Amino acid sequence: MEVDSAQYFSMSVEMLESGSFLEITDRGKEYLDKPPFIFWISGLFFYLFGVGELAFKLPSLLFSVLGIYATYRLAKRYYSKETAILAALILAATQGYFHFNNDVRTDTYLTNSVIASVWLIAEFLNNRKLLFCLGGFFFAALAMLAKGPMGLVAPIAAFACHIVFKNEWKKLWRWEWIVGVIFLLVLLSPMVYGLYYQFDMQPQKWVNGKQGVSGIRFYFWEQSFGRITGENVWKNDTGPFFFVHNMAWSFMPWSVLIFGAFFHLLLNLKSPRILMASRVEWISWGGFFLPFVALSMSKYKLPHYIYVTFPFAAVICADYFYNVLLKNKVGVRWVSIFQTIVLLLLCVVAISLVFVCFYPETPVFVAVIFTALITLFSYTVFTSESLLGQRFIRLSLITAIGINIILACYIYPSLLQYQAGAPAAKYALENTLPLDKFFVFEINGRSLDVYTQHVQKEISLQGIKQQVMTEAPIYVFTNKEGFETLSDSGMNAKIIFKTPSYPVTLLTTNFLNPKTRESVLNEGLIVCVR
């Protein structure tokens, strides 16, 4: 999906083609935003398996498996095996995990590297093996290479809470920490050198609308902490509770548990000493709550920023379910009733998306999926308890899996028909348009790069005029506004392909409503210019 995921795909192809792994460019322009790990690992998989969607998504999936396993091991270190299994199941079935494996972003690598780092450091704290220490710092480095200082801040927050509340200050005085920090700095050094060479040594460069930009300062301060201080240029109109309501949908179908666990914690704050002594660990609360608050203070927020807290939330929920909720028969009954209502509402939303927003062209397939989902749902409601002891868990898992099968197999493909780059790429390949004479003008068009498996160059109006003088005809991917600009300039421009266009990651009610959809659609055009 555009913009981010398709952009990262395109930039990874560009990096592989150019062979420039330390200086990052975006369609030939200087790039200073995300750290390089997603481009490095995607480029590696493109090299091994060929450029394509599978090679782009496979490392994300592998890291997610690692993150789920690390969550299981972290929970098993402090709780029962059943609690650890439930924590892993909760994490694997969150809407956020389904989402960031469909729409791959840097948060995939950040989140899973952070929880892997925390698990290994927790093992080190308990048995003092240097290998675990180095492993923890290795994944902390990967997390920082994926999305900046948050990759180190989140583990520090997790262990700071644990050490303070459990009074384990002696564990700070270990020589292995020094070795780990040196190891982390060595792993970060290629990226730091690349930033220094690309920006600090060349202050005359224009990047993000400014000159004299320090790549190192941007990475270590402005990109993350600068969003809190206001130094970062990126800002939007989100309030301090933005991530609360985002957690409500992105942590589905387990939102009831995480909010219940939070309110249970608040109720026990009146006896802080008893509360601190009663928990076997504070790593999960530190890793969840402190980053959550820090991210909420940012002046620029997007829903996926909060995914880094999900593994910790999964451990919290599993602990709450087994060690608090199941001991209160009245409480678990009411939570189960409320959860059933929430799951039914999710099913209604899925049915509405299919039969109201995107009426199926293949109704048999959708009918089969819904029949299976309803059958499993009904069977679970009216049968005895089995795995993990509660229908609550089975209902939630069945609903999450069923709805995401429908999303992946029907809703996303229906949405992507309106992402103009994909059909434009299909037309270009089927009609063998010369890709070296194919340009992008006044439209993002990142998905064009994905489906042509080639980085299409952006071009200006003056650039089009120069290209036509020497290499006519050329082909331009643009929108209605871009075509009008070409026509008004007096150029001989002819539309040879037209497709609906809409930014599918920014859904609105007008777009979802078939009766008003046409009013918000643009057009993606391939124009032949002579």
Q: Which domains does the chain carry?
A: 4-234 (no CATH), 328-416 (no CATH), 421-529 (3.40.190)
pLDDT digits (tens, 9 = 90+) for 418-472: 999 889 999 999 998 888 888 998 888 888 889 988 888 888 888 888 888 888 7
Asked if the model's pLDDT at residue 328 lies above 80, the reply is: no
pLDDT tens-digit readout, 212-260? 888 888 888 887 776 666 666 666 667 778 888 889 889 999 998 999 8
CB 187 within 8 A of CB 146: no
- 525 forms beta bridges with 478, 498
At 520, is the pLDDT very low, low, confident or very high (cuts 50, 70, 90)?
very high
Residue 132's nearest CA partner among 174, 161, 81, 165 is: 174
State whether residue 204 is helix, strand or coil.
coil
Q: Is the pLDDT of residue 383 over 60?
A: no
* Residues near 311 by beta carbon (within 8 Å), at least 6 away in sequence: 67, 70, 71, 74, 91, 111, 112, 114, 115, 118, 287
For residue 206, is it left (φ>0), alpha (ψ between -120 and 50) or beta? beta
User: Considering the chain, what is the average pLDDT of its residues?
Assistant: 86
pLDDT at 389: 47
pLDDT of 387 > 60? The answer is no
Which tens digits make up the pLDDT trace of 86-134?
999 999 999 999 988 988 999 999 999 999 999 999 999 988 899 999 9
Percent of the chain whose pLDDT exceeds 90: 38
Q: Between the CA atoms of 207, 209, 213 and 217, what dihedral angle is there, to the nearest 10 degrees?
A: -90
Distance CA 159, CA 273 (A): 19
